[in-house]
Amino acid sequence: MSETTPSAPRPAEILPGSRVLLTGASGLLGGSVARRLAQDGYEVTTLQRSASGLDKVRDVRGSLTDHALVAQAMAGQDAVIHMAAKVSVSGRRQDFVDVNIHGTENILDAAEAAGVEHLLHVSSPSVAHAGTSLVGEGAGDPDPTAVLGHYARTKAEAELLVQARAAAGMKVLVIRPHLIWGPGDGQLTRRVVDRARSGRLPLLGSGAALVDTLYIDNAVDAFAAGLRRLPQIHGRRLVLTNGEPRPIGELLMGIAEAGGARRPRLRVAPAVAKAAGLAVEKIWGLAERVAGDLDDEPPMTKFLAEQLSTAHWFDQRETRAALDWTPAISIDDGLALLAEHVRRTGGV
């Protein structure tokens, strides 16, 4: 009888029972992922300014800029998911630097000091978007010199810091989710609905530029898969979407209607919107310097005008193969779920 060659051992996974630190659980994505991991049997610690409100989760409340607090939260962990960030289309650059760059540095330093070698870093496709159309692209290199806005620039710089630690031996997986929406989303979903209700949601040009988005439940499934498979797939950058590019006008109208608002009718030429965005940015910046942080965001910026008028969708083959994941909820099903949520609760 011939001898058979034993198969190579399967790479380790980060399994339920492991201790995981997650930053940013007060947001929809962070809170949803933390809840899912706790339900799956992981020992979850969250770090953010406010209470997460989650069962079976240990909260550490405070800022990413507090090095000692970050080190305290990191102690004894097996892996970290870094989601917390300052996300806005306006604001003072230093506020973005403090959270997105220095906060990430604190996470990296604390992980290294505590011997935590597995990091799932949450970034954004905007770190590699210089304003031109992205058609079936992969995850490009982060370039803080080419992108627009304090958020994209500081997230690109943060990703470069993470990349340097990966080169030094840390096992890092970077996931860039694109335009998450769904029930409970106070970023994209609520702003689209609120602006549609007030008549302040413009369609730029024909509204035909193809854009892909990501339904919240699919995002949660993908991040759970990414954490589990991180020891096998570290070293990659993955853009994460539903894989269903739609015309941006169709998406905006669908979300607005699902949220109980009328379809937007205001149409603006992209060049006009970009010029107006630049002017509004200057006025908003002056107002922030005089009055401090503003409660609302500007109605238009150059970055926002580009996002609403250029195609940006991404090849998902590598992402799905690496994560061993496919979206369970389609865009149309997600819109139906959002509409049902609004009917049941009365709010987005």
Question: Is residue 295 one of the residues assigned to a domain?
Answer: no
Question: Is residue 160 one of the residues assigned to a domain?
Answer: yes
Write the CB contacts of 337 (distance below 8 Å, at least 6 apart in sequence).
Answer: 182, 183, 329
Question: Is 184 in a helix, a strand, or coil?
Answer: coil
CA 270 to chain CA centroid, Å, is: 25
Question: Is residue 49 one of the residues assigned to a domain?
Answer: yes
The two tokens of residue 44 are 């979850």
**Total structural domains within the chain:** 1
Question: Is residue 165 one of the residues assigned to a domain?
Answer: yes
Q: What DSSP state is assigned to residue 97?
A: I
Question: Is residue 230 one of the residues assigned to a domain?
Answer: yes
The two tokens of residue 79 are 């892996």
Question: Is residue 85 one of the residues assigned to a domain?
Answer: yes
How would you classify the pairing of strands 57-61 and 246-247? unpaired
Q: Indicate if 42 belongs to the active site.
A: no
Distance CA 165, CA 51 (A): 30
Question: Is 143 in a helix, a strand, or coil?
Answer: coil
Question: Is residue 52 one of the residues assigned to a domain?
Answer: yes
Q: What DSSP state is assigned to residue 98?
A: I
Geometric angle at alpha carbon 274, from 273 and 278, rounded to 5°: 115
44: CATH: 3.40.50.720
Please tell me the predicted confidence (pLDDT) of residue 89. 73
Write the CB contacts of 19 (distance below 8 Å, at least 6 apart in sequence).
Answer: 42, 43, 45, 76, 77, 78, 79
Please tell me the predicted confidence (pLDDT) of residue 276. 46
Question: Is residue 210 one of the residues assigned to a domain?
Answer: no
| Domain range enclosing 24 | 19-178+215-241+312-328
Q: What is the mean pLDDT of each run of 10 residues along the chain (348 residues)?
A: 51 92 96 98 97 95 97 98 90 94 98 98 94 90 93 97 97 96 91 85 77 96 98 97 93 91 70 49 48 51 62 95 98 97 93
pTM attached to this predicted model: 0.89
Per the residue annotation, which of 151, 215, 223, 325 is the catalytic one? 151
The two tokens of residue 57 are 């989760």
